[in-house]
Structure 1
């Protein structure tokens, strides 16, 4: 297979991203870690985080081996699976795990250094925390593009000369997305249960019952809480966005192979276009990272503006670059496709700004939640739930508009709904998702920054650095709450576009599975009693063959099951947090009761016991919800066929997207309402209003850090599983 010269920009960009990540890591490590107490606390957190991750990888490794053996059986014995799938699945999981590991390792080294840098000034602290977060962003995009480039080269060598080479290669590469999604779901769910069990225990007993500050060293759950920020919000989030990033690129490449199948060399250029856009996005993300800085007396709006400047400059530059890339690749309708990319970028910015409005304490919704604390915790919870529900409007309308505009721009505004029009439109939706994620290097840096700043604040409190330093770290932490909420909204939005593109990729995988079955002697008869030839059929032919219409009860049943799956998953993960938090609350109460002198600062809490409770709970509770995401699409495919699976994916996407936005924004707003009261509003720390907002924040913790962010992985994982299991669905 003749690979164009332009493609080699992809592996080069991936290596540069990893090199810049290493540069920022060394730069962070050159900073002083602070006092002996600061170093000691950071070491406790680092050891706890690494111990948890090691244990999680053991459990997940066993699951991966079992699934890989099943795939091997399907490929080499039943002959209903591509023989490369077991290996692609394992590498996807491995690279996703590596992204989470490197990001978390950086974060555990960065927290004390950020707190120490804040002693020198707010800008200094922001720079250390943000560039440490940039390590995560650059590692994710670097490893993602490296994995894609390596598989493209390897499969290109083995499928060289095949008539459907590019279609086969791109759909095969999609299967390593299942490995990444599976690893991401375990990381998000397990990390989310861990961090929220510790957080809820620390808040309810420490702040509400014992009336001691957040991150006070007298609280036994404090170290576990800080460990949880790293394993959930860093390692889990890194694995999450790794699979979003790869999924958007690979699904778009697969759609390009189909849409341009009859266009000769243009087919190859359409396949590599999303990869090149992502590669250029790496260089522009690095430029944006260097632009982030602030002044010493910065307000929250100033801090938000500082981060926004870097991300917006990168977004504007990639918008301009996309026009140049698609023009130079000489792709048909390059102008329309460029506007599709622009649509994805603009949608990402609007969703981010909408999330910021509903979760930042600088704006009215969160201020109203803080004000509602004057009448108790019930009104805080009611107001927060209402705010979260209302906040879904902007992302849903934005994504709907982005889907329509990117589709129409790509197919010349053709409303005929013929096969070519649909294929081109779907390619436009896919490339819009790539556009939204093209500057992930810096976007993810703003997200990873949040838990680093949070841990820095905890370190400053436990090390007793003083009111002025704590004020700076609180400002960085409050900013982190907003950026984390924005990052979650961004991840959920990109998941919606990616999952829609994966729907079309599922049809292509069904086509390949049917062609494989025909080669084995299977014959398919359509509704008219004629022989159906999958090799010459287009997407509309497959929709008609499988009767994928709203009048088909299989489609409707699948849609209901997909909608139910999102709520079932949230219920299971929320329940898991509740059970783990209950154990943590009982343990913290026991230590306050039985270990003499803790509250007076004379006794030493048993931090290790709390870390052990969170670790054990997370490992035990993450298995069932995560496996459910794999089992449901397989069962629906075997019982309801292709029509049922299409309904399942649509139902899961629509309900999962809306529910995820609601949960992430409610949780973020509750958290910042609490921060607003802690800054001295409505009575300040220790007041009745403060305790009311702590209750709201405690309810919001599993909303925003466990169930909500896991949903965007759920909807993509169900799509990935459906694609990988297409051969099994066809066989039944």
Structure 2
């Protein structure tokens, strides 16, 4: 049973994907309505596919370029294996495929939801949520399948499927990081490009349609309405799917890396605990696999019975499914932790006296997973408070809309800023407590447990844009008012779940990035980030600046694309006869084309910034001869700056945008301002629309993109870490003396001490401290700076530059250009001069 545990996540992923196909088949069999409804739905479907095709053509070029660069690096750098290229390509392909699955099912489910709403609200919820479940299970299933399959392949390739050394497992995980890098790279462009698309269309439709022309949202006379509905799918379905796909993979990978260091700290003791001695590495994958099965159960119990149900009942049904999933994951984590981990483990805690090792019980590891589940649940409540309809912060924005757009915007900005306070305290408490329980491995497992319900979270999140599209189709196809009322109920709940889903994504990015950061520190072998070093402090500030600049670029991109959209919509209103009377037909395709081209053109610069900055910081100083370890700390400082700043900007922008959005929606039902009821079309409503226009790119473009900026930065650091660290794990021998373990190819660990001296048994060039290496044939302590070696009989360090002359005090000629056949076995390593 224990030997088969490695295949359990793959089995769970395949079960989830089969269930996804069954669910998809059921959704596609539902009635798609009349001809007009099908025509509108087809416009949305074709527009979404046109965007995906254009985006994937660009991303194909990107993937090929990066693959070539990785291949070049792997050829010249011994510590990077060429298989990382294969892993990167498949990570990108799996992520793109997951987004494609979500996009297609969402654009087919919308019209079926509209048709169901003509007769039944419960059935409309069942169909719309069913489409979301297909998306969620597709993303989670592909993520676990891809990551686990490649782990098994690399485990067999590098280790013959049997545990041998921590160092070889490190090579497996370093190579596997390519899969995560590929997934996050696609997620970056999907999020940024999709966000620019959707908000360019949304802003254009709102400013000209609602404010200038005074027509309702989703009115068929608005030329940008199809582009707006397409945008809901490319941004909130494909974009969110790619985001959480990347988070899912990165979280599990980071926990596996840190699990490997638990094995190192345990020495050989853990081998006796079963699971081939790699239980801490396999545990995160097992949690992810079980999470898929549990999410399937959660999706099955989401339902309502009454046709008269309101938002509260619909939200309650979703919450039941979510809470049941969380509870089952908690139970599963207990079983898996107690089964797969030893009762007591040794874990290293950074910055503590001595070797920093503590005895940690498996129960404390389980406690860390519970903290992750709590964070995932509580963050949704915090986000809902600051963005939900009827909540105090929203009502405050509504009141301040009465005095114009300026005060509305001020109130929205303040709401986003203050929302960082409880959110960051929650994150800080989770990080501190999970670390106190089980070190950085505990932090990584907290993130893994939280992400275990990804399929369920995505199902809840993707249901929102499907319901939004369903309402748009009902409006454009001129359905009975009851149909729009029912879709509005689903849409209103969907707006709340979209905001809370973004909060969940931020939480996952924060914990995942910290785990990746810890993995980076261990891969490079640095002891920490010393901000008293000027280069490190400088990079900390540079890292803090990048999320601000990234947000500016994303906002500018939306602004430029929206200007093009506004001009086109205005042109059509002026030049197409009868468009306002409903006799002239808008040119929807031109607006779709504008959004597609503008988003793809504008998404490149933020992407280059994200990928280029860490690479420049890593390699430019090396080109000028800076020490590897200093450069590793500099890049670590940059990563820390990006993470802290990025999390704050993500929270602020997500919650400010969500608050503005629901402040605007509050006017649809009517709100009381200064003792009078105020509705749509009023000056206060127009001010709220303007505020929502500002908030749209906050919550759907720059804000969500922060998550990927943070994770991708840390992943790039993780991929280049072996290069900066010389390919060696920072290790400790049995005497507590720090040493550097050998690079791939050395049959035995052989580097020791401050002088980079080889231990007996080294048969290849293998000593790596500061790039010093032994020549072939070294059988005893023999390595000296720059490969200078002494002949037998030399009693003290005596080799000088270029090995031409001996230092004073040497009793015989002893310097040579090549290793001697025999080396003095009594050579005192302390006498060797560095």
Residues in 1 aligned to 2:571 and 2:723: alpha-carbon distance in whole angstroms: 52
- Contact (CA 8 Å) 2:464, 2:493: kept in 1 or not? yes
Residues in 2 aligned to 1:80 and 1:171: alpha-carbon distance in whole angstroms: 9
Are 2:58 and 1:77 equivalent residues in the alignment? Answer: no
- Contact (CA 8 Å) 1:171, 1:505: kept in 2 or not? no
Structure 2 gap ranges (5+): 345-360, 622-629, 672-676, 727-770, 772-834
| Alpha-carbon offset, residue 466 of structure 1 | 2.2
Equivalent residue number for residue 714 of structure 1: 709
Residues in 1 aligned to 2:664 and 2:310: alpha-carbon distance in whole angstroms: 18
Given candidates 654, 679, 694, the residue that maps to 2:644 is 654
Are 2:200 and 1:189 equivalent residues in the alignment? Answer: no
TM-score normalized by the length of structure 1 = 0.91
Equivalent residue number for residue 199 of structure 1: 202
Query: CA offsets per residue over residues 60-116 of structure 1, 9 Å max, x none?
Result: 110110010010011123435222111111111110101100001000001111111
Residues in 2 aligned to 1:367 and 1:350: alpha-carbon distance in whole angstroms: 22
Given candidates 669, 672, 678, the residue that maps to 1:679 is 669
Are 2:260 and 1:257 equivalent residues in the alignment? Answer: yes
Query: CA offsets per residue over residues 489-535 of structure 1, 9 Å max, x none?
Result: 10010110000000121123325xxxxxxxxxxxxxxxxxxxxxxxx
Counterparts of 1:129-168 in structure 2, within 5 Å, are: 129-160=128-159, 163=165, 164-168=167-171
Equivalent residue number for residue 382 of structure 2: 354
Query: CA offsets per residue over residues 555-613 of structure 1, 9 Å max, x none?
Result: 21111111100000000000000000000000000000111110110100111110110
Equivalent residue number for residue 68 of structure 1: 67
| Alpha-carbon offset, residue 312 of structure 1 | 0.8
Q: SS of 1:260's equivalent?
A: helix
Query: CA offsets per residue over residues 268-313 of structure 1, 9 Å max, x none?
Result: 1110101111111111111111111233333333322221111011
| Alpha-carbon offset, residue 394 of structure 1 | 2.0
Given candidates 355, 371, 384, the residue that maps to 1:343 is 371
Greater CA drift, 327-336 or 708-717: 327-336
Residues in 2 aligned to 1:197 and 1:729: alpha-carbon distance in whole angstroms: 41
Residues in 1 aligned to 2:140 and 2:3: alpha-carbon distance in whole angstroms: 22
Residues in 2 aligned to 1:13 and 1:362: alpha-carbon distance in whole angstroms: 41
- Contact (CA 8 Å) 2:174, 2:719: kept in 1 or not? no
Query: CA offsets per residue over residues 147-168 of structure 1, 9 Å max, x none?
Result: 1111111111111265322222
TM-score normalized by the length of structure 2 = 0.80
Structure 1 gap ranges (5+): 411-424, 512-541
Residues in 1 aligned to 2:665 and 2:122: alpha-carbon distance in whole angstroms: 21
Residues in 2 aligned to 1:403 and 1:396: alpha-carbon distance in whole angstroms: 10
Equivalent residue number for residue 211 of structure 2: 208
Equivalent residue number for residue 170 of structure 1: 173
Given candidates 467, 472, 478, the residue that maps to 1:458 is 472
Equivalent residue number for residue 643 of structure 1: 633
Residues in 1 aligned to 2:58 and 2:640: alpha-carbon distance in whole angstroms: 31
Are 2:527 and 1:543 equivalent residues in the alignment? Answer: yes
Are 2:289 and 1:279 equivalent residues in the alignment? Answer: yes
- Contact (CA 8 Å) 1:185, 1:240: kept in 2 or not? yes
Residues in 1 aligned to 2:299 and 2:662: alpha-carbon distance in whole angstroms: 25
Q: CA RMSD in A?
A: 1.5
Query: CA offsets per residue over residues 198-255 of structure 1, 9 Å max, x none?
Result: 0000000000000000000100001111111111111111011001001000110010
- Contact (CA 8 Å) 1:171, 1:508: kept in 2 or not? no
Equivalent residue number for residue 468 of structure 1: 482
Residues in 2 aligned to 1:30 and 1:689: alpha-carbon distance in whole angstroms: 45
Residues in 1 aligned to 2:77 and 2:146: alpha-carbon distance in whole angstroms: 28
Are 2:36 and 1:37 equivalent residues in the alignment? Answer: yes
Equivalent residue number for residue 792 of structure 2: none
Equivalent residue number for residue 113 of structure 2: 114
Equivalent residue number for residue 586 of structure 2: 605
Given candidates 293, 301, 304, the residue that maps to 1:291 is 301
Equivalent residue number for residue 534 of structure 2: 553
Counterparts of 1:494-513 in structure 2, within 5 Å, are: 494-511=508-525
Residues in 1 aligned to 2:229 and 2:607: alpha-carbon distance in whole angstroms: 24
Residues in 2 aligned to 1:168 and 1:566: alpha-carbon distance in whole angstroms: 31
Residues in 2 aligned to 1:330 and 1:711: alpha-carbon distance in whole angstroms: 35
Q: SS of 2:580's equivalent?
A: coil
Query: CA offsets per residue over residues 654-682 of structure 1, 9 Å max, x none?
Result: 11001101111111111111111112334
Given candidates 416, 421, 434, the residue that maps to 1:393 is 421
Structure 1 or 2: more helix by fraction: 1
| Alpha-carbon offset, residue 177 of structure 1 | 0.9
Look at both structures and tell me which one has the larger radius of gyration over its CA atoms: 2
- Contact (CA 8 Å) 1:301, 1:362: kept in 2 or not? no
Equivalent residue number for residue 393 of structure 2: 365
Residues in 2 aligned to 1:727 and 1:153: alpha-carbon distance in whole angstroms: 21
- Contact (CA 8 Å) 2:84, 2:177: kept in 1 or not? no
Equivalent residue number for residue 492 of structure 2: 478
Equivalent residue number for residue 243 of structure 1: 246
| Alpha-carbon offset, residue 321 of structure 1 | 1.3
Residues in 2 aligned to 1:126 and 1:83: alpha-carbon distance in whole angstroms: 48
- Contact (CA 8 Å) 1:254, 1:505: kept in 2 or not? yes
Residues in 2 aligned to 1:687 and 1:238: alpha-carbon distance in whole angstroms: 37
Residues in 1 aligned to 2:308 and 2:433: alpha-carbon distance in whole angstroms: 42
Given candidates 259, 283, 308, the residue that maps to 2:319 is 308
Q: SS of 2:137's equivalent?
A: helix
Residues in 1 aligned to 2:178 and 2:24: alpha-carbon distance in whole angstroms: 31
Residues in 2 aligned to 1:300 and 1:374: alpha-carbon distance in whole angstroms: 27
Equivalent residue number for residue 51 of structure 2: 52
Residues in 2 aligned to 1:579 and 1:159: alpha-carbon distance in whole angstroms: 50
Residues in 2 aligned to 1:510 and 1:8: alpha-carbon distance in whole angstroms: 30
Greater CA drift, 606-615 or 285-294: 285-294
Residues in 2 aligned to 1:708 and 1:458: alpha-carbon distance in whole angstroms: 25
- Contact (CA 8 Å) 2:92, 2:183: kept in 1 or not? yes
Given candidates 575, 590, 596, the residue that maps to 2:571 is 590
Residues in 1 aligned to 2:76 and 2:182: alpha-carbon distance in whole angstroms: 21
| Alpha-carbon offset, residue 730 of structure 1 | 5.3
Equivalent residue number for residue 451 of structure 2: 437
Residues in 2 aligned to 1:433 and 1:484: alpha-carbon distance in whole angstroms: 20
Q: SS of 1:543's equivalent?
A: coil
Residues in 1 aligned to 2:372 and 2:43: alpha-carbon distance in whole angstroms: 42
Q: SS of 1:4's equivalent?
A: helix
Given candidates 682, 685, 689, the residue that maps to 2:684 is 689
Shift of the 363–299 alpha-carbon distance from structure 1 to 2, 3 Å rule, reads farther
Residues in 2 aligned to 1:364 and 1:600: alpha-carbon distance in whole angstroms: 41
Residues in 2 aligned to 1:190 and 1:406: alpha-carbon distance in whole angstroms: 35
Residues in 1 aligned to 2:148 and 2:660: alpha-carbon distance in whole angstroms: 42
Residues in 1 aligned to 2:117 and 2:454: alpha-carbon distance in whole angstroms: 26
Equivalent residue number for residue 124 of structure 1: 123
- Bigger RCO of structures 1 and 2 (CA < 8 A, at least 6 apart): 1
Greater CA drift, 200-209 or 289-298: 289-298
Residues in 2 aligned to 1:435 and 1:78: alpha-carbon distance in whole angstroms: 36
Residues in 2 aligned to 1:283 and 1:238: alpha-carbon distance in whole angstroms: 19
Given candidates 329, 339, 347, the residue that maps to 1:318 is 329
Equivalent residue number for residue 13 of structure 2: 14
